[in-house]
Amino acid sequence: MDRALSSRDDAFSKAKASATRLLKIRLRSKKEIADKLALKGIRPAVIRKTVRFFTEAGLLDDRQFARAWIISRLKKPMGWRRIRRELELKGVNAELIDDECARARNAHDEDEALKKLALRRMRQYREVNKLKAKRRLCDYLIRRGFASAAVYTVIREIST
C-alpha cells in the first residue's frame, strides 16, 4: 500500500516538475501541458491531477494563454485566420478564441498591418518578374492567415 502511494506521489511530482519547466519557457494551454506529459508516459489520471493543480494555482489559464498568443502573433504580423487555427490546434475552446479575438480586434488594425507587411515583403521581390512577385506575395500573405480578399486588395493597391 505504501509503495503504491509512493509511486503515485513520485509520478505526480515528476509531472509537476515537467509542467513547471514547460511553463517557465512560455505560457501553455491545458491541452499542450497534457499532451507533453502524455508523451513522457505519464498516466492520464496523473495528467488530469497535474493540470488541475496548475489551473487551481492560477499558473495554467487558457484565456491568459490565448491573450498572450494573440499579442505575440499580431506582432509578427499574422492574420486572424492563422491565429485562430493555431489556438484551435493548441486546444483552446472555440468560444474563448472568439472572445479573445474580438477583444484584440478593437486594438489592432489588420488592414494597416497587412499593407506594411506587403510593402516590406515586396521589396524582397524587386529582382523577380512582376507577375511572379505578386503571386509569391499573395501566397505568402495567405499563408500568414490574412483573408484572401484583403490580400488581393492590398496587392492591387501597392502594385499600381
Domain count of the fold of the chain: 3
pLDDT tens digits for range 83-132: 999 999 999 999 999 999 999 999 889 999 999 999 999 999 888 899 99
Torsion angle in degrees (nearest 10) through CA of 5, 7, 9, 14: -170
CATH at 51: 1.10.10.10
Q: DSSP letter at 59?
A: S
Burial class (CB in 10 A: 0-12, 13-18, 19+), 99: middle
| CA geometry: angle 151, 154, 160, nearest 5 deg | 135
Does 26 share its domain with 68?
no
* Residues 92, 62: Cα–Cα separation, whole Å: 6
Does 143 share its domain with 130?
yes
Q: Domain residues for 85? A: 63-105
pTM for the predicted model, two decimal places:
0.86
pLDDT tens digits for range 42-65: 999 999 999 999 999 999 999 999
